[in-house]
Chain A
């Protein structure tokens, strides 16, 4: 069973639409991550939140806007996306204490931009 839950599983949107991706975990993890993954490629880190504060932004275009409203939730707001933004978007979480803990990933949201 997936301990990191992402919704929706699939999303098709036009370039002028506004939508949001959601991620939820109840493992008490205080670090949460957004990745973008193209087919047959490794995940590319987009954002990292630690203790609900944005700690890493990997020079992601402003049409992607992350939000961490509490320690269990992570959102990714999408606006005016481009066709090249079509990809699998993965959320992950990890503990921040006790050494360097592995990240736990969700199933991802498959995003298609028309």
Chain B
């Protein structure tokens, strides 16, 4: 069975600084997708970034980038130039091509950006 682990329940960072959220997963599959979602207090889950396992290049979306280490089964999210609006719960999610389109979520990291 696949599992996703986020070992940091809470983190804080000063505005304009850089922060890294960790995510590890366990799977025997070789082909899969990984996602980071952000859930602010407004409740909506918003896709931040995604990574295809067959791509070695790390995904980047503006201030957000990932460090994908397939052998280590690690998928960390780096937020550069943190902004107050980045305050949210961040969930790492994993999906395999099993045909069920089912996400496996980590337990989340609550990030607070301090002014």
In the complex, are the beta carbons of B42 and A100 less than 8 A apart? no
Give residues 82-102 of B contacting A (CB, 8 Å): 89, 91, 95, 97, 100-102
Number of residue pairs A-B, CB distance < 8 angstroms: 58
In this assembly, does A31 line the interface, its C-beta being within 8 Å of a C-beta of chain B?
Answer: yes
Knowing A42-B106, A100-B33, A100-B95 touch, does A31 contact B45 (C-beta < 8 A)? no
| Smallest beta-carbon distance B40→chain A, Å | 11
Give residues 29-58 of B contacting A (CB, 8 Å): 32-33, 35, 37, 42-47, 50, 52
In this assembly, does A14 line the interface, its C-beta being within 8 Å of a C-beta of chain B?
Answer: no
In the complex, are the beta carbons of B101 and A48 less than 8 A apart? yes
Interface bin, chain B: 20 to 34
In the complex, are the beta carbons of A40 and B95 less than 8 A apart? no
Knowing A40-B108, A45-B103 touch, does A102 contact B50 (C-beta < 8 A)? yes
Closest chain A residue to B89 by CB distance?
A40
Give residues 6-34 of B contacting A (CB, 8 Å): 32-33
Knowing A2-B44, A108-B44 touch, does A45 contact B102 (C-beta < 8 A)? yes
Interface bin, chain A: 20 to 34
Knowing A40-B108, A107-B44 touch, does A102 contact B35 (C-beta < 8 A)? yes
In the complex, are the beta carbons of B47 and A104 less than 8 A apart? yes
In the complex, are the beta carbons of B108 and A42 less than 8 A apart? yes
Q: Which residues of A contact B37 (CB under 8 A)?
A: 105
Please pick, from B35, B101, B105, the residue contacting A43 in the complex, using a CB distance under 8 A: B105
Q: Can you list 28 A-B pairs with a CB-CB distance of less than 8 A? A: A2-B44, A31-B101, A33-B101, A40-B89, A41-B107, A41-B108, A42-B107, A42-B108, A43-B103, A43-B105, A48-B100, A55-B100, A90-B45, A99-B52, A100-B32, A100-B95, A102-B35, A102-B47, A102-B50, A103-B47, A103-B101, A103-B103, A105-B44, A105-B45, A106-B44, A107-B44, A108-B44, A110-B43
Residues of B in contact with A (beta carbons under 8 Å apart): 32-33, 35, 37, 42-47, 50, 52, 89, 91, 95, 97, 100-103, 105-108, 110
